[in-house]
Amino acid sequence: MKHEKKMGPEKKILFLALIFFTLICFSPHIFSQDTKRDKGIIKDSALTVFIDCQWCKLAEIQKDISFIKLVEEQDKAQVYVLITKRDTASSGTEFILSFKGQKEFGGDNDQLKCQPDIGKEEKELLRELINTLKMGFMRYVGKTPISSLISIRLMDEVKPTSVEDKWDFWVFSISGDTFFNGQKLYKSGMLYGFFSANRVTPELKVRLSVWGMYNQDKFTFDDQIIKSSSNSQNFTGLIVKSLNDHWSVGGHFSALASTYTNTKFSLSPGPAIEYNLFPYSQSTRRQLRFLYRLDFKSIWYQEETIYEKTHENLLKESLSATLELKQKWGTISTSIEGSNYFHDFSKNRVYLRGELSLRIIGGLNINLNGSYSRIHDQLSLARSDATFEEILLRRKEIATTYNYYFSVGLSYTFGSTKSKVVNPRFGTGGQGISIMF
């Protein structure tokens, strides 16, 4: 009987080393073929996306979401994404992401919301925004070849918890400002204080605020000292009840004292009703609101008015229409309001305001802003004439039949939108040079 020779320890080690060496040499080649294939699918089938967001960091979004390809022109994208943000009642920020399918995805639209917790750092906010973007892209990516490279898992360590708010959704804000400046012949000072209390839920909105301001200027001219001062105090209150996705009703109240408007004290409560042509759920993208208000005004004047009044009770109505749109072609916000007093319909006012930003081509935008008022309701004008100083410093309201404002400008954003490089050195800014004339 022949005995087979057993492999010695040295030969076993040599044999295992040979196998290990073979795996090391050939496995990268095998894996690299799979990697190249995957990269080819991503390159050829990546979802083309145009993100409409002036303040978003597109480079970081592209770096983190590798299964999409950001493009610079809207018409080349399979998906158009509009990202808007609005302040919440608790001084936080809510992001609204509107997805619109184009080309083969035409008509496949969606909208998602991202509401990070207050106090999160910028990186955390960006992380939550990117995660919401990924969720929105899944409905489109699932219909492309790249879907074979996507895996979805449940973060089961995150468990839903009930939220108890010890403040019952009330948010308070308080602020104060003061400034003093001057030179040899001129001194100026201002004091300002503000307090607000707001409670906003989907069913009810309550906003209360009170503020006060005092301003004084002192001039020295030819050994004469000229002093001029003004002060204002104001309280406003608003309560709005949501009826459905189009109608709201509410009431408002204000109390005012102002040396500029010759008002010692005034009270103004009244009801209001609003109709929004579009559902309120679409408010970040489009609104067309019609608001009707009644105001009962009881006013005590500091000086006798040009109508020989020191106190009067008035009933006023106003109707306004406001259009706000955020679309691919740009943004528009415009409103027109008309008001009149019931005791004399000739005492009226028409106010028109508009803001328009049009995307011309690429990153080129034209921006127009303006307002115009036709004024025939200055019931509080003082009977005595304003002094020269009060007119120059605008310490006293003077008679006019109109006022207006207008501005026009161009803005252009250009450069790379494909760079994936993020350099955090020196923070988000740096030293700058300022030149003043």
Do 23 and 43 touch, CB atoms closer than 8 A?
no
Same domain, 374 and 272: yes
> 288 is written with which tokens?
């067309």
92 occurs within a structural domain: yes
**Angstrom distances, CA of residue 350 to CA of 47, 307, 320:** 49, 22, 10
| Lookup result for tokens 């988000």 | 428
406 occurs within a structural domain: yes
In angstroms, rounded to a whole number, what is the distance separating the alpha carbons of residues 285 and 331?
A: 9
Which residue among 132, 149, 166 closes a domain?
Answer: 149
In angstroms, rounded to a whole number, what is the distance separating the alpha carbons of residues 77 and 52?
A: 12
Mean pLDDT value across residues 386-410: 82
Same domain, 377 and 252: yes
Pick 254 or 88 by higher pLDDT.
254
Q: Which residue from 287, 347, 288, 359 is spatially nearest to 317, judged by alpha carbons?
A: 347
Same domain, 143 and 259: no
424 occurs within a structural domain: no
Same domain, 408 and 294: yes
348 occurs within a structural domain: yes
What was the pLDDT predicted at 337? 95
110 occurs within a structural domain: yes
316 occurs within a structural domain: yes
423 occurs within a structural domain: no
**Residue 20 above 60 pLDDT?**
no
CATH at 76:
3.30.160
Same domain, 373 and 264: yes
CATH at 374:
2.40.160
> Which residues, including other chains, have CB under 8 Å from residue 170's CB and lie 6 or more apart?
197, 198, 199
Mean pLDDT value across residues 192-215: 91
Domain holding 263, by residue range, is 243-412
Length of the chain: 437
> 428 is written with which tokens?
């988000």
Domain count of the chain? 2
168 occurs within a structural domain: no
> 11 is written with which tokens?
């030969």
Which residue among 149, 175, 210 closes a domain?
Answer: 149
**Residue 163 above 60 pLDDT?**
no
**Residue 414 above 80 pLDDT?**
no
Same domain, 249 and 369: yes
What would the DSSP string read from start to end of 152-206? Answer: ----TT--------TTTTEEEEEEEEEEEEEETTEEEEEEEEEEEEEEE-SSEEE
Which residue among 96, 115, 149 closes a domain?
Answer: 149
Same domain, 266 and 120: no
Pick 122 or 19 by higher pLDDT.
122
Same domain, 261 and 363: yes
Least confident of 69-73, 331-335, 386-390: 386-390
What pTM does this model have?
Answer: 0.60
